[in-house]
Structure 1
Amino acid sequence: MSHEKIAFVTGATGLLGSNLVRLLLAEGYRVKALARSEQKATQQFGELIGKRLEVVLGDLTSVDGFAPALQGCEVIFHTAAYFRESYQGGRHLAALHKTNVEGTQNLLNEAYAAGIRRMVHISSIAALGRNATGLTDETMVLAREAAPDDYYCSKIETDEVIFAFLDSHQDMHISLVLPGWMHGPGDLGPTSAGQFVQDYLQQKIPGVIDAAFSVVDARDVALVALAASKTGRRGERYLAAGHPVTMARLLQMMEAVSGVPAPRRKLPRIMLYAIASLQELFARLTGRPVLLSLATVSNIANDYGRKFSAEKIRMRFGLGFRPMEETLADEVMWTRQSATRRDTYKPGKVNSS
């Protein structure tokens, strides 16, 4: 009888986490999926929950609460992070540090105590800087003091925690995967990508801004993470940033795959700062999340013109990226189907046996 590998996935109901869980199940793994919400776990995985998929309810702010579930696992895929809320206006430095930095440190300690010696940590292109050529690779690590916002700072600090743990635990094997702006099906959150698609379909995108992004399919990032868990090198970073694309081109592709007309009006970036400033004031007065935060605008400006090398994952794993049109078409279809399901969805009980 073959040995059944058991993987533990944090952030399992998120965009990347959910696609990774499905990939692992398809590859024959038994999966323990960490989720904060029982309802969201049921909504995300439905009938998959059962013999080979076990939902573990818990939170990175209280790792000791789910630590017993780490027993028996061979590998951890750490995809969870405090991210979405940090771009909804205001400052979130304390929450970012507690979840991303302290949560990761506590997870490492508990995983090691449980006998786990292999982990894949999902970092971010936020941890990397740029050079004069405009092409960024895994060696161009950004100093914490150069981070443009609190989220970037927390991701850099989290990576520092990872490398410090590797230095003090020579038998621990951790590889890091650095995704770009992830899109694709399964975005229940939604992330900023999922919110962008929802806004586009509802024709809430006001115009075309002078911005560029690196868009990657979450399913491709999951493939890189799985490969890194098998043959990735200890302490190595692997970029999975995807395709560079301008906002204008992204909107054209959205029009092509959705049938919804793209906005044509050009918006100067200075207007975004003005709108974001007003939105931040609104957030402070009402306590509600903003549609456009100063952190988001800063992020757009910081990433403008950056391109990321995929050479390392091609050479090491033989992996690349599917066409962006395929990603967006699948994302649009999933978003439309999800809206229909929400109208009829009734939460059930998670079977976590």
Structure 2
Amino acid sequence: MNVVFVTGGTGLLGSSIVRNLIEHNVKIKVLARSMDKAKKLFQNPLVEIIEGDILNVQGFADHLSGCDTLFHCAAFFRDNYKGGKHWDELFNTNVKGTEQILEAAYKAGIRKAVYTSSIATLYGEKNQLINETMERHLEGSDNYYKSKILAERKVKEFLNKHPDMFTTIILPGWMYGPFDMGPTSSGQLVLDYIAGKMPGILPASFSVVDARDVAEHHIVSLEKGRSGEKYLAAGRYMEMKDIFELLEKTTGIKMPTKSIPFWLLKIIALGQEIYHLITRKPILLSYSSVKLIGTEYQRTHFSHEKSAKELGCEFRPLEATFKDVVTWYKQNNYIS
């Protein structure tokens, strides 16, 4: 890699990839909707900030020239779970945007790419170990999940047309990490926990991973991976109680002990959706989020056999991850 183009470069994963590349002395062009946010994150001569939006690929396509590698991390995700319906934004960003950035990159002469997918495209039974072959059906899926399934299909269609474009697909779990300016849903959970806004333990499970480890999977896949292959970077299975225990250990703040039943979550979410409908303000618990909690509970056990064998990547202890997250938020005045 000599000159790399990164979409979603100011997000948690994208910024982790950029910082990893800086350590390897690689020149990077970072696509950013907010120049101010990008400048706060990256003050390095190796980084050139390109103002643009994945919804308008032609608006920045000229900047792809001279690059040899594309990391496509941009996606519409966080706002999808803040109330209301967002299918147009999901489709235009995650599906159409993926198709267009790959075509524009190929036209510009780029022949190496990594696409950031999601564990959302996989499905298994409760407590089943899920691997890369266990694809989720489109029918009946959450809208965000649908958009990622369709985007993966666009990547495969593109590769069928352009077999000379080396492209790997990385599937992250629920990412945590420092430099989460957004914050993402994971970062917001940490902040809400510290602020005492978590009333109880939700009946939910996750696959939790450090964004820096996911970034490593992306970069190593270009050297050791196989084109057209999917590689899991999902991390460790955790239930909400496990996350709270880790946060209690990290922050010294006592975790809630009361369990919140699923039926009560549904009622709370419906009330929140009505509030969103009236005020148009984002909410903390949408009905989409609650449906996912129910359908995905104990279906977040993922196998890293393939990525470990082919990429040789490992995961750092999440105790270290959570410590780094809390420290970063303190140092950047998110926490008093």
TM-score greater than 0.5 by the shorter chain: yes
Residue 350 of structure 1: aligned partner: none
Deviation at 1:108, TM superposition (A): 1.0
Q: Within 5 Å, give how 1:32-51 maps onto structure 2.
A: 32-45=29-42, 47-48=43-44, 50=45
Residues 289-337 of structure 1: per-residue CA shift (max 9 Å, x gap) = 1110011112222221120001111101111211111111111111122
Deviation at 1:133, TM superposition (A): 6.0
Cα distance in 2, alignment partners of residues 32 and 8 from structure 1: 5
Residue 346 of structure 1: aligned partner: none
Residue 222 of structure 1: aligned partner: 215
Cα distance in 2, alignment partners of residues 325 and 123 from structure 1: 25
Residue 351 of structure 1: aligned partner: none
Cα distance in 2, alignment partners of residues 295 and 187 from structure 1: 23
Find 1:275's aligned residue among 268, 272, 275. 268
Residues 8-48 of structure 1: per-residue CA shift (max 9 Å, x gap) = 11100000001110001111211111111011111222x32
Residue 243 of structure 2: aligned partner: 250
Q: Within 5 Å, give how 1:163-312 maps onto structure 2.
A: 163-306=156-299, 307-312=301-306
SS at match of 1:142: coil
Residue 3 of structure 2: aligned partner: 6
Cα distance in 1, alignment partners of residues 277 and 127 from structure 2: 40
SS at match of 1:329: helix
**Which 5+ residue runs of structure 1 have no aligned equivalent?**
344-353
Residue 95 of structure 1: aligned partner: 89
Cα distance in 2, alignment partners of residues 319 and 112 from structure 1: 28
Cα distance in 1, alignment partners of residues 75 and 134 from structure 2: 22
Q: Within 5 Å, give how 1:121-132 maps onto structure 2.
A: 121-131=115-125
Aligned residue pairs: how many?
A: 335
Deviation at 1:140, TM superposition (A): 0.5
Find 2:108's aligned residue among 90, 110, 114. 114
SS at match of 1:209: coil
Q: Is the 8 A contact 1:35 1:57 kept in 2?
A: yes
Q: Once superposed, which parts of structure 1, at least 4 consecutive aligned residues long, lie more than 6 Å away?
A: none
SS at match of 1:56: strand
Deviation at 1:131, TM superposition (A): 4.1
Query: What is the identity, as a one-letter code, of the residue corresponding to 1:265?
Result: K
TM-score in terms of structure 1 length: 0.92
Cα distance in 2, alignment partners of residues 106 and 36 from structure 1: 17
Query: What is the identity, as a one-letter code, of the residue corresponding to 1:10?
Result: T
Q: Is the 8 A contact 1:217 1:321 kept in 2?
A: yes
Query: What is the identity, as a one-letter code, of the residue corresponding to 2:331?
Result: Q
Residues 232-287 of structure 1: per-residue CA shift (max 9 Å, x gap) = 11110000000001111110110111112211111111111110111011101111
Residue 347 of structure 1: aligned partner: none
Cα distance in 2, alignment partners of residues 123 and 331 from structure 1: 23
Query: What is the identity, as a one-letter code, of the residue corresponding to 1:5?
Result: N
1:325 aligns with 2:319: yes
CA RMSD of aligned residues (A): 1.4
Query: What is the identity, as a one-letter code, of the residue corresponding to 1:333?
Result: T
Cα distance in 1, alignment partners of residues 273 and 160 from structure 2: 41
Cα distance in 1, alignment partners of residues 267 and 333 from structure 2: 32
Query: What is the identity, as a one-letter code, of the residue corresponding to 1:69?
Result: H
Cα distance in 2, alignment partners of residues 202 and 145 from structure 1: 39
Cα distance in 2, alignment partners of residues 217 and 31 from structure 1: 22
1:18 aligns with 2:12: no
Find 1:153's aligned residue among 140, 143, 146. 146
Q: Is the 8 A contact 1:75 1:229 kept in 2?
A: no
Deviation at 1:208, TM superposition (A): 0.8
SS at match of 2:319: helix
Q: Is the 8 A contact 2:126 2:297 kept in 1?
A: no
Deviation at 1:146, TM superposition (A): 3.6
Q: Is the 8 A contact 1:310 1:320 kept in 2?
A: no
Query: What is the identity, as a one-letter code, of the residue corresponding to 1:95?
Result: E
Cα distance in 1, alignment partners of residues 127 and 55 from structure 2: 40
SS at match of 1:339: coil
Residue 26 of structure 2: aligned partner: 29
Structure 1 residues 178 and 56 mapped into 2: Cα distance closer, same or farther (>3 Å)? same
**Which 5+ residue runs of structure 2 have no aligned equivalent?**
none
Residue 348 of structure 1: aligned partner: none
Identity among equivalent pairs (%): 44
